[in-house]
Structure 1
Amino acid sequence: MDLPFGIDFGGTGIKGAPVDLALGDFAGDRQKIKTPKPATPKAVAKVFRELVGRFPASSAPVGVTVPGIVHGGVVWSAANIDAAWVGTDADSLFTAALQRDVHVVNDADAAGLAEVEYGAAKGRNGLVIVTTLGTGIGSAMVHDGVLVPNSELGHLEIGGRVAEKWASNVFREQDGLSWKEWAKRLTTYYRTLERLFSPDLIVVGGGVSKESDQFLPLIAIETEIVPAALQNRAGIVGAALVASRA
């Protein structure tokens, strides 16, 4: 059985695996290749070919996460990747490179869809906001299972500061914050999301979510807030889901 393939394109590594959508998990060992420097679209396409080539030949679609805004398969922003991505029709480029149907999605959106379909927000109705706390703050908004793409809620300005330049995990480390001190910043951030969107559930992902017991109980908000369940599998699983639905 041909299974969709998910690729998670990050700043340091490009990871991929076939995905069993009935289970919401990998159907083979995840493979990883270092992100090329410079990470231009053509250089990354070459890595994608190598990554997909490590698995048996398939005609199933491929989903790819990109850390940027994606509209109709075209990348509109490139804050943490090569500037050459801006304006690139990534769907067409990768479809030609891999000779398979390829669909590109914002990385946080992919993770959000995976958490709603298989993870911490499975079976939940209403508005779910999934945030990823890392170098920045990624976000996904999913209402009754339908994605509102490219929400970019980490770019909200709060008190004259861009949220992710103050409350992301990298700034916790950079500023030497204790968990309690960081939780105060996160409380300010998540209260803003509450006020603007009235979510039914907030899911917190990113690598630091593995230590969620250190800071989530200290975030003082009214909305239910829980750690992500899929952790580093979410991007690949969500990308494959997007490709399959497309």
Structure 2
Amino acid sequence: MTKQVIGIDLGGTAIKLGRFTQDGNCLQSITVDTPQPATPEAVLLKMVDAITQIDPDNQSIAIGLGTPGPADAAGRVAKVAINLAGWHDIPLADWLEAKTGKPTILANDANCAGLGEAWLGAGRNFQHLILLTLGTGVGGAVILDGKLFIGHQGAAAELGLITLTPDGPMCNSGNQGSLEQYTCISAIRRRTGKEPAELGALAQKGDTEALTFWQEYGKDLGIGLTSLIYVFTPQAIIIGGGVSASFEYFLPAMQAEIEKRVLPTSRVGLQILPAELGNSAGMVGAAKLAWGIGDR
């Protein structure tokens, strides 16, 4: 029997689960609604039920789970889960292990998406890469030497919270003018009064205002990425999240800004690529996480 693991992506509205072989083949996947209110106990029961659906013969050897918020460095505790009710310091790995008898590990969902892209997506040919997810918020992941960089207490790679302009709009983090405040979906609405998809469709038709907006957007993104490139010198930057649907319209301005601001020695061969795995990146990365403990 081929060894298998389960990857779970826990979101505010849906929970995605997949059963994977070691070479990344997804044997089966399902999506279930996140219970409302999404209390830790309700979510746990829903996940356990979904695990029995996806693995009725109990063939999997480990579970990886992406949570919408920071996990501790050991991958045991969901410290806070954004958009989920009553989540503070929840020992979710212990709970799942007790219910399923399988070793379990947690990570932040953006870190899981980064691992997923590095394993089976746009980052599979690189050892050093950054993933930036442009959506409701701006999340990120950093992979160095093929490994997830989580930093002290597992809190590294909050890439959207770096400062872009010192006196810009207030950010939930307490920062002002963070990259997120210029590049997330609500920032795009604030700047244009339109939805990202609408601006993408207008740009496709050659609308001058929309094309100009995407140029400005690309410039802001490029400036933010400049700081990250100087620190991490990645081989690739992968852009994911809903806003990445308009990648082709903001890429040129983003690249031009990076080329202007970053020394050639810090960006040798740098590639900027759209993410490839879409909504399944988190689930795939969670499975990759599970292989890390399933192999022991």
Report if TM-score (shorter chain) is over 0.5.
yes
Q: 1:165 — aligned with what?
A: 181
> Which amino acid in the other structure matches residue 143 of structure 2?
V
Cα 1:97–1:174 shift into 2, 3 Å: farther
Q: Equivalent residue of 1:19, what SS?
A: strand
* Contact kept? 2:216, 2:253, Cα under 8 Å: no
Structure 1, residues 111-140: CA drift from partner, whole Å, max 9, x if none?
111211222121223x31111111111111
Q: 1:51 — aligned with what?
A: 50
> Which amino acid in the other structure matches residue 106 of structure 1?
N
Q: 2:266 — aligned with what?
A: none
Residue 203 of structure 1, CA deviation: 0.8
1:180 equivalent in alignment to 2:183: no
Identical aligned pairs, as a percentage?
Answer: 34
Residue 218 of structure 1, CA deviation: 2.8
Structure 1, residues 127-182: CA drift from partner, whole Å, max 9, x if none?
31111111111111111101102421112222121221321234224432732232
Q: 2:16 — aligned with what?
A: 15
Q: Higher Cα Rg: structure 1 or 2?
A: 2
1:200 equivalent in alignment to 2:232: no
Q: What is the alpha-carbon distance in structure 2 between the residues aligned to residue 212 and residue 18 of structure 1?
A: 30
Tell me the TM-score normalised to structure 1 length: 0.89
Tell me the TM-score normalised to structure 2 length: 0.75
Residue 49 of structure 1, CA deviation: 1.4
Q: CA RMSD in A?
A: 2.0
Gaps of 5+ in 1: none
Gaps of 5+ in 2: 151-155, 167-176, 195-212, 260-269
Q: What is the alpha-carbon distance in structure 2 between the residues aligned to residue 80 and residue 108 of structure 1?
A: 15
Q: 2:130 — aligned with what?
A: 129
Q: What is the alpha-carbon distance in structure 1 between the residues aligned to residue 134 and residue 25 of structure 2?
A: 22
Q: Equivalent residue of 2:8, what SS?
A: strand
Cα 1:11–1:183 shift into 2, 3 Å: same
Q: 2:69 — aligned with what?
A: 68
| Structure 2 counterparts to residues 108-123 of structure 1, below 5 A | 108-123=110-125
More helix by share: 2
